[in-house]
Structure 1
């Protein structure tokens, strides 16, 4: 029976992944900063095969608690899913630098540090790392400078790590969703670090988290290394590379309301 560790598991994509892996008979270790929400989710799944540890994913002490729980409660770790994340919606020049630091800490530094700490367990199981990136890491999106930077850094780090841990039998799946219907955008930070007061602009189709979870599990089972689930966003990233001026004009028109 596989053991799966999922960060950001109390809602959105993390919760849908937990539900999906639960139906596959996996042991689950779930973590989220929302302690009350996490406890509700664990109770819904049942305590026999699910354990929740709430905390701030940027805290290295939480990482050690999670990995210790994997080893002691379930005997190891087979799949690490770095899903927890935050975003912001704010013009770059108007944004408090503390917002950029927070986004980078959650979306980049935390998964990097947790993954490095988990490598001994993953080597033993010849396990797998799944990192939830974003198409925002492949192309610029107005009002998301910190998020784009963090997801780009995440992608580059795990692409390098992929080549270095393959000799240990550890597999890697990088996932690049576009816009999903999840709480990450409902809780997006504004320029002052408080919740953003304006709605989001989008590119492509807004997908449900349940749909995305199914795509991820299928990609894992198929042994894919990268998953680009939204074709229209993938094409937009190609447009950015081959015709950047045209891309900027289109994006600026689409996101104009957020810049006012």
Structure 2
């Protein structure tokens, strides 16, 4: 049964910024938000995919711009362009992100640095420049995190670090803004079918170009996007999706030593990282 947006009216005529909206969860969110009547702005490094997004949504209230969220100037220019087009920002969805797959001993520092620049600093930059407008609107700031923000995952040390940093930063920001009317939320999709594993960096900071996981068995990006939108409308604090994700968070909190063994078993076969 299809998952539906429960309260599309929450987004109607609001200006929603979604970073990394040319693919995966971000693209699915852009399309669902447009269907809900929102003004949507999105950015990506891929101009061709942004063009396709525009072509497939003719006449919609959609603004796109090529920008790299790891670059502070790009983030500032993007938010300024959004303001010129839509006058304000009601909701910021910090979705742009990248993964990695390499054990720490073989991973280049460039791999880990690039992951941190996109997954952590990209959120900080965009939020910094959008915050004054969101505060005026008493709006929402969302960070798309990961189960790796609760439980470090082998082969993804830099990715795990970036998501732990993201969640700690957002928790601090949420507390600072608690009496302001702004809601800060981080969501953890678990394993979702998207391009993130194909684009994941290898030990040399290059896209690995393939997924070691069974993408067909995962939650779709479209379903994930709807879950996020429903959580935004309810102004939740956190959202952990999938039974496996909730199980991992629970096990790591109450049975961490056992979680170590179970996570190791999931990702390794004969002492070789296979996922």
Residue 39 (structure 1) aligned to one of 48, 51, 58: 51
Q: Which residue of 1 aligns with 2:246?
A: 234
Q: Which residue of 1 aligns with 2:226?
A: 214
- How far, CA to CA, are the matches of 2:177 and 2:248 in structure 1? 31
| SS of the residue 1:130 aligns to | strand
Q: Check conservation: 1:201, 1:254, Cα contact below 8 A.
A: no
Unaligned stretches of 5+ residues in structure 2: 1-12
Residue 132 (structure 2) aligned to one of 102, 114, 120: 120
218 and 197 in structure 1: CA distance in 2 versus 1, 3 angstrom threshold: closer
Q: Which residue of 2 aligns with 1:160?
A: 172
- 1:198 CA drift (Å): 6.5
- How far, CA to CA, are the matches of 2:209 and 2:72 in structure 1? 32
- How far, CA to CA, are the matches of 2:101 and 2:57 in structure 1? 34
Residue 149 (structure 2) aligned to one of 129, 133, 137: 137
Q: Which residue of 1 aligns with 2:35?
A: 23
Q: Which runs of 4+ in 1 moved over 6 A?
A: none
Q: Which residue of 2 aligns with 1:106?
A: 118
TM-score under structure 2 length normalisation: 0.89
Q: Which residue of 2 aligns with 1:223?
A: 235
Q: Which residue of 1 aligns with 2:104?
A: 92
TM-score under structure 1 length normalisation: 0.94
- How far, CA to CA, are the matches of 2:59 and 2:18 in structure 1? 16
More off after superposition, 96-105 vs 39-48: 39-48
198 and 54 in structure 1: CA distance in 2 versus 1, 3 angstrom threshold: closer
Q: Check conservation: 2:63, 2:82, Cα contact below 8 A.
A: no
Unaligned stretches of 5+ residues in structure 1: none
- 1:48 CA drift (Å): 4.4
Residue 201 (structure 2) aligned to one of 160, 170, 189: 189
Q: Which residue of 2 aligns with 1:259?
A: 273
